Amino acid sequence: MGKMIDELHDSASKGQLDLVLMIIESSKQKSVINAQNDQGWTALMFAARNGRVNVADALIKKGCDVDLMTKSGQTAVDIAQFWNHSSIVTLITSDSNNSNIPCQLSTVVTYFGKNPLDRCSAMRDNQEWIEKELHQASTKYILFHKLNPFVLYQDNKYEICPISYKDISFLLMGDPKPVYIFLGLGCLDLSNTNGERNAWFALDVSTLEEERVLKFSKKAEILSSKNKYAIMGFDEIQAGVIAQCKSLLTWHLRYKFCPTCGSVTNIAEAGYKRICANKDCISLQGIHNTSYPRLDPVVIMLVISPDKQQCLLGRQKTFPPGLFSCLAGFMEPGETIEDAVRREVMEESGIKVDKVQYHTCQPWPMPMQLMIGCLAYATSNYIKVDQNELEAARWFPKKEIMDILTGHGLNSGAAFSLPPKQAIAYQLIKTFVGTSSNL
Ligand SMILES: [Zn+2]
């Protein structure tokens, strides 16, 4: 029996559907389909781990138990989710009655990449409508003091502290008016399940003393900018909105004057445009990118070795001790994403890249980047680190990465660490180890 189970698990891992079916059908014991190994793993879990959709589909149709857990408490869905095999997640969840499991995981959504608000961009230049929304009793404001959000801290998470119009009306009626940005319509309340929509605005309250800001809510605090990772402490539902606010408010702070003629500019379109006050300015004729919020594209790539068994990670001098991550760099004008990837990898590590594959992207509000995540396939192995850009770079075998991702590295006192799961680099690294090897 033990040998048969090993064979079943092995063929499920490898996606050998015929063999899986043969073992199940030839077994006299019906329970073989749900047989667990020493670690509690089932055939479905092995299929889920390795993205074997056809095997998972067959096992489910044959009536396997999708709710069994490993000894460390993971179900097949947890395993498929962790390794980004979204079609298997969908397969299992559409079969299961477990309503706690999210079923919309068709693609990887990065942290800061989920924004539940309807931006209603067509309404931004309708000042009458914006004014009406500003004054609604249901409207909520997210306060920012010197670019730091006013937040609650509960259950080990930061949470937006929504403020009503009546509490900040004195600011909006004052002169000069503070910067406000219309974020959109929607629901950001983590516990609200009735789907009520209201307008959300970001409001810059930097003109107030910190003590005055704290009076808006006894339980809330101004998120400290000293810890640059604090902004990653929000629930994913709210993180995207925080990113939207932070990037736009930073733009208003840094780009107060017209880049074309140096005159003052005035905010328009509910925070999404700045218009030059000089009526002769060329920026008033036609569409000019100086008038709209700035967004800087950055390529971030996981370089994969020619034999596809190792990936290249590097260390910047400013990284916390031991941290290695993907290489990255700003795109240049007149450059494709693919060429930017090849140029940056060559500059920083001396490695030659041929094929570049887009993976996913991530808004990164420090202050206003778009991280474009790619897999880059190397055609050379020899590393020559540019010491101006990086402190170190080296190839990491799949096994070494896997030990860190699964937590085994911590126990063995690993000498390096990987970026947190909120970083797109983590998703890229996970994709690499999730492509073929067994857990
Ligand atoms: Zn101008």
> Mean of the pLDDT values across residues 232-247?
95
Residue 195 falls in which region: left (phi positive, over 0), alpha (psi -120 to 50) or beta? left
pLDDT tens-digit map of 29-70: 878 999 999 888 999 999 999 999 999 999 998 889 888 888
Helices (H), 313-375: 337-349
Contact indicator for 349, 312 with CB cutoff of 8 Å: yes
Q: Which has the higher per-residue pLDDT, 229 or 410?
A: 229
Q: Hey, what's the torsion of the CAs at 191, 192, 193, 196, to 10 degrees?
A: -170
- CATH dotted code for 121-254: 3.90.79
The whole-angstrom separation of Cα 148 and Cα 219 is 16
Q: For 155, which DSSP code?
A: T
- For residue 391, the tally of other CB atoms under 10 A from its CB is 12
Give first-to-last CA distance, the chain, whole Å. Answer: 23
Work out the percent of the chain whose per-residue pLDDT is above 90: 69
Q: Which has the higher per-residue pLDDT, 173 or 227?
A: 173
Q: State the residue for tokens 């002169």.
A: 175
> Mean of the pLDDT values across residues 265-294?
93
Residue 436 has pLDDT above 70, yes or no: no
294 CA distance to ligand 1 middle (Å): 17
275 CA distance to ligand 1 middle (Å): 8
Closest-CA residue to 160 (of 124, 115, 105)? 115
The two domains 121-254 and 296-434 share their CATH topology (first three levels equal): yes
Closest-CA residue to 72 (of 36, 29, 106, 103)? 36
Structure tokens at 337: 């994403």
> Mean of the pLDDT values across residues 205-222?
96
> Mean of the pLDDT values across residues 155-180?
94
Contact indicator for 434, 83 with CB cutoff of 8 Å: yes
Residue 141 has pLDDT above 80, yes or no: yes
Closest-CA residue to 335 (of 379, 288, 297, 375)? 297
Length of the chain: 439
The CATH topology of domain 296-434 is Nucleoside Triphosphate Pyrophosphohydrolase (3.90.79)
Residue 349 has pLDDT above 50, yes or no: yes
287 CA distance to ligand 1 middle (Å): 13
Residue 407 has pLDDT above 90, yes or no: no
pTM of the predicted structure, to 2 decimals: 0.77
pLDDT tens-digit map of 172-210: 999 889 999 999 999 987 776 666 889 999 999 999 999
Residue 383 has pLDDT above 80, yes or no: yes
265 CA distance to ligand 1 middle (Å): 7
Contact indicator for 367, 247 with CB cutoff of 8 Å: yes
Residue 267 has pLDDT above 50, yes or no: yes
- The per-residue pLDDT for 435 is 59
Q: State the residue for tokens 């808006």.
A: 216
Residue 24 has pLDDT above 50, yes or no: yes
- The per-residue pLDDT for 425 is 96
113 CA distance to ligand 1 middle (Å): 33
Ion ligand 1: residue ranges with CB closer than 5 A: 258, 260-261, 263, 276, 278, 281, 283
Residue 402 has pLDDT above 90, yes or no: no
> What is the pLDDT confidence band of residue 101, given thresholds at 50, 70 and 90?
very low
255 CA distance to ligand 1 middle (Å): 12
> Mean of the pLDDT values across residues 78-82?
88
Residue type, 132: K
278 CA distance to ligand 1 middle (Å): 6
Structure tokens at 226: 């000293």
- CATH dotted code for 2-95: 1.25.40.20
> What is the pLDDT confidence band of residue 226, given thresholds at 50, 70 and 90?
confident
263 CA distance to ligand 1 middle (Å): 5
146 CA distance to ligand 1 middle (Å): 26
Mean pLDDT estimate for the chain: 90
Q: State the residue for tokens 């947890």.
A: 78
The whole-angstrom separation of Cα 141 and Cα 204 is 10
Q: Could you tell me the residue ranges of all domains in the chain?
A: 2-95, 121-254, 296-434
